[in-house]
């Protein structure tokens, strides 16, 4: 039985890893296509039909680029930076429940790499490690603009993590669990948390934009003032790793948004499907539902990117500390009062 678990878990891990990579790859194409469409252009359409091989071509190009290392004291850190970014982005996917369970070979297979009971804390922990990648890379670049960008990224992450954590507290108070699996299971049918926690969702959404360094919070890679920020000195595939990590973390945070607030793999009529059609089919549809939800959020990230211009640094800090944090504290209090009243 132990071997079966090892095989089962490794299959899930490899599948999730492959999915994350594939999604990150095609997010780059999606980004370029959506950017083009929103600007009334067509976008890349030369590599394959509709530009389907564009990510491969981009990857090939990055591999063929000169590997440049600046004259820095911290050559080791320079190499570690992108690796930390990348692994932090990939590690988060370990606790995400991709579906309820499949019934195969006479066993119930739980569609999650690992079901730890403090999954939310784990997600927050790993997401915060992501800033180390930027910080280390910016520091080791031996370039003042890179360092400035790294400082910005770090302070931005710290400010928005507070609001993010506080917005999650209201959700945890409501669901009474830290496990993503139980949170997902608790949103059966259309009982999605977003209907009970709209303000919390909004705060979480804004903060995840900040956490993934996406526009309007991409001050860390501000081209106009910081010539690209922390990846100024990076070239070739190390640069590719940073960009890739950004897309991977975008994918992961879209997934977390979908799991926490948009009912994870739940869709209306899932129970009926499980009883009448079978557990497997019901859950495959569930996985597709989750996939559709997270694709929507990835699209939303891109949509916002071409709508909202970049914040000024003081605006960013004011929004974080003076608007979002008070709002999320108020949200906690109101949630607490409602929980007390309804009990």
Rg for the chain (alpha carbons), in Å? 21
Round to whole Å and give the CA distance between 284 and 290. 10
Task: Please state the closest distance from residue 41 (CB atom) to other proteins, in A.
Answer: 5
Q: Quick one: which of 3, 6, 39, 64 contacts other proteins (CB under 8 A)?
A: 39
Say whether residue 38 binds other proteins (CB under 8 A). Answer: yes
Owner of token pair 């190009």:
61
Q: Which stretch binds other proteins (CB under 8 A): 30-38, 114-122, 181-189, 274-282?
A: 30-38
Q: Dihedral, CA atoms, 174, 340, 166, 169, nearest 10 degrees?
A: -30
Using CB under 8 A as the binding criterion, the count of chain residues that bind other proteins stands at: 17
What are the residues whose beta carbons fall under 8 Å from the beta carbon of 18, sequence distance 6 or more? none
Q: Are 221 and 229 in contact (CB under 8 A)?
A: yes
Q: Quick one: which of 5, 42, 277, 339 contacts other proteins (CB under 8 A)?
A: 42
Task: Please state the closest distance from residue 334 (CB atom) to other proteins, in A.
Answer: 16
Helix axes 119-140, 236-261, angle to 10 degrees: 160
Q: Are 162 and 237 in contact (CB under 8 A)?
A: no
Looking at beta carbons only, is 209 or 251 nearer to other proteins?
209
Cα 283 to chain centroid, rounded: 23
Q: Which stretch binds other proteins (CB under 8 A): 33-41, 113-121, 150-158, 174-182?
A: 33-41
What are the residues whose beta carbons fall under 8 Å from the beta carbon of 262, sequence distance 6 or more? 192, 193, 194, 293
- Mask: binding to other proteins, 43-82, rule CB under 8 A, as x and -? --x-------------------------------------
DSSP state of 177: -
| Three-class DSSP category at 104 | strand
Say whether residue 303 binds other proteins (CB under 8 A). Answer: yes
Q: Quick one: which of 202, 237, 317, 329 contacts other proteins (CB under 8 A)?
A: 202
Residues 306-335 touching other proteins, rule: CB under 8 A, are 306-308, 319, 323, 327
Q: Which stretch binds other proteins (CB under 8 A): 39-47, 95-103, 150-158, 231-239?
A: 39-47
Tokens of 151: 């400082």
- List contacts with other proteins (CB under 8 A): 34, 37-42, 45, 202, 303-304, 306-308, 319, 323, 327
């Amino acid at each position: 039985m132990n071997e079966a678990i090892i095989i089962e878990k490794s299959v899930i891990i490899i599948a999730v890893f492959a999915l994350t990579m594939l999604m990150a790859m095609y997010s780059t194409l999606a980004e370029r296509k959506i950017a083009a469409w929103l600007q009334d252009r067509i976008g890349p359409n030369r590599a394959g039909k509709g530009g389907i091989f564009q990510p491969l071509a981009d990857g090939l190009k990055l591999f063929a680029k000169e590997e440049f290392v600046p004259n820095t004291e911290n050559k080791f850190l320079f190499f570690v930076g992108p690796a930390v970014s990348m692994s932090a982005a990939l590690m988060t996917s370990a606790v995400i429940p991709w579906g309820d369970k499949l019934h195969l070979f006479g066993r119930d297979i739980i569609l999650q790499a690992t079901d730890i009971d403090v999954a939310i804390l784990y997600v927050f922990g790993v997401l915060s490690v992501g800033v180390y990648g930027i910080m280390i890379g910016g520091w080791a670049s031996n370039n003042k603009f890179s360092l400035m960008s790294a400082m910005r990224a770090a302070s931005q992450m710290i400010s928005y993590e507070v609001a993010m954590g506080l917005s999650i507290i209201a959700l945890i108070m409501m669901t009474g669990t830290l496990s993503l699996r139980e949170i997902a299971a608790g949103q059966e049918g259309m009982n999605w948390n977003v209907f009970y926690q709209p303000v919390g969702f909004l705060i979480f959404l804004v903060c995840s934009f900040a956490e993934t360094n996406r526009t309007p919070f991409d001050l860390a890679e501000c081209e106009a003032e910081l010539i690209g920020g922390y990846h100024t000195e990076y070239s070739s595939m190390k640069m590719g790793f940073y960009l890739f990590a950004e897309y991977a973390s975008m994918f992961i945070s879209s997934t977390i948004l979908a799991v926490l607030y948009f009912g994870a793999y739940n869709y209306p009529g899932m129970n009926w499907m499980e009883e009448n059609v079978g557990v497997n089919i019901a859950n495959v549809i569930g996985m597709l539902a989750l996939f559709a939800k997270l694709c929507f959020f990835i699209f939303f990230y891109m949509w916002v990117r071409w709508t909202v211009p970049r914040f000024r640094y003081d605006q960013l800090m004011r929004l974080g500390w003076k608007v979002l944090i008070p709002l999320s504290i108020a949200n906690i209090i109101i949630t607490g009062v409602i929980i007390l009243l309804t009990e």
